[in-house]
Structure 1
Amino acid sequence: MSRSGADLALLLLGGFRVLADSATAELAERGYPDHRPVHDFAMRAIAAGADNASELGRRMSVTKQSAAKTIATLQERGYVAIGPDPEDARRKRLQVTDLGQQVLSTGEAIFDDLRAQWAQQIGETNLRALETHLQTLVGTEPMRFDTPGWVSRGTTPADG
């Protein structure tokens, strides 16, 4: 049976969705019932240097207001804190808390477990072949976790 290019795109997206949904459900089982993939994207962006709402919005391809709402949610849950900037006492910086780092580490371990489940389902050799083929097609650098707005091709909402 021949499949279309659209079918391939949907299968790849479906694979991502299955992994993301499974990880979210497992995080809930492990004590983080209110954690969502967007929170992971935001915390990774903050850990990588997005230390204010404007920069977080740029990195996530969302408005500053949307980024500020995400920050407020992450602060409320104890995943992110605002601290002093060591270079400018007048400025405040976002920082991922120890609890936030714990959630990120737990999520990474869950994805390792999910990969192992896929290897068990289709065989380690087949999974490695799939990974190798995907690297050949999309490159060896994995997609950054702080760029959920990749569909917008790097433009910000203000850019249109």
Structure 2
Amino acid sequence: MTDLTSDELDLPTLLTLAGGVVSSQIVERMRQEGFADVRTSHGYVLQLVVADSPTIGSMAESLGVTQQAVSKSVGELQRLGYVDRVADPVDARARRVELTARGRELIEAGRAARQDAEASIAREVSPEDLMAARRVLAAILRDNAAQIARRRMPLPG
């Protein structure tokens, strides 16, 4: 497929393949940066603690999964040193999930890897084509906002 042209595959296949390639490149970059233990699936949990200190229950609701599933993922991330469970300052019975310093390093490394991936793409296409691709992808996301809203990464503050 090295000589692949844009008219050889349908758009959904191109999106799937391109997304997989970029995702793999980012995961590899994270490994090179010293985060070999992180998986793509961790991102769904981590994105919820970037700008907030949620409870397991609120995370489960946001992700549309069980509290048990989130608790398992948070436990793994805690063992890896990326998050901590801390007492809620208002309700001592509740526990909140927060990024550790190592977790914040992971988030920053991920952002840098995504920026580099975008720069690599930008070197391969014209600025007009890059903007057209952004518009198409944004339209797909906009048209499916209800499905993806709960998995959206908050913008850095």
TM-score range, shorter chain: 0.7 to 0.9
TM-score (norm 1): 0.77
Deviation at 1:98, TM superposition (A): 1.7
Contact persistence 1:23–1:110 (CA under 8 A): yes
The reply on whether 1:105 has 2:108 as its aligned counterpart is yes
Give the equivalent residue in structure 2 for 1:29: 32
The reply on whether 1:19 has 2:26 as its aligned counterpart is no
Give the equivalent residue in structure 2 for 1:79: 82
- Identity of counterpart residues, as a percentage? 24
More relative contact order, 1 or 2 (CA 8 Å, 6+ apart): 1
Give the equivalent residue in structure 2 for 1:52: 55
Identify if the C-alpha distance between structure 1 residues 8 and 50 changes in structure 2 by more than 3 Å, giving closer, same or farther: farther
Give the equivalent residue in structure 2 for 1:93: 96
Q: Which runs of 4+ in 1 moved over 6 A?
A: 1-4
Q: Which runs of 5+ in 2 are unaligned?
A: 1-5, 153-157
SS of equivalent to 2:86: strand
Q: Kindly report the root-mean-square deviation, in angstroms, between the aligned alpha carbons of the 2 structures.
A: 2.7
SS of equivalent to 2:46: helix
Deviation at 1:61, TM superposition (A): 2.4
One-letter amino acid of the counterpart of residue 39, structure 1: H
One-letter amino acid of the counterpart of residue 147, structure 1: R
Contact persistence 1:59–1:147 (CA under 8 A): yes
Identify if the C-alpha distance between structure 1 residues 56 and 107 changes in structure 2 by more than 3 Å, giving closer, same or farther: same
Give the equivalent residue in structure 1 for 2:3: none
Deviation at 1:136, TM superposition (A): 4.1
One-letter amino acid of the counterpart of residue 122, structure 2: A
SS of equivalent to 1:89: coil
Deviation at 1:129, TM superposition (A): 2.0
Contact persistence 1:61–1:147 (CA under 8 A): no
Contact persistence 2:29–2:113 (CA under 8 A): yes
The reply on whether 1:43 has 2:46 as its aligned counterpart is yes
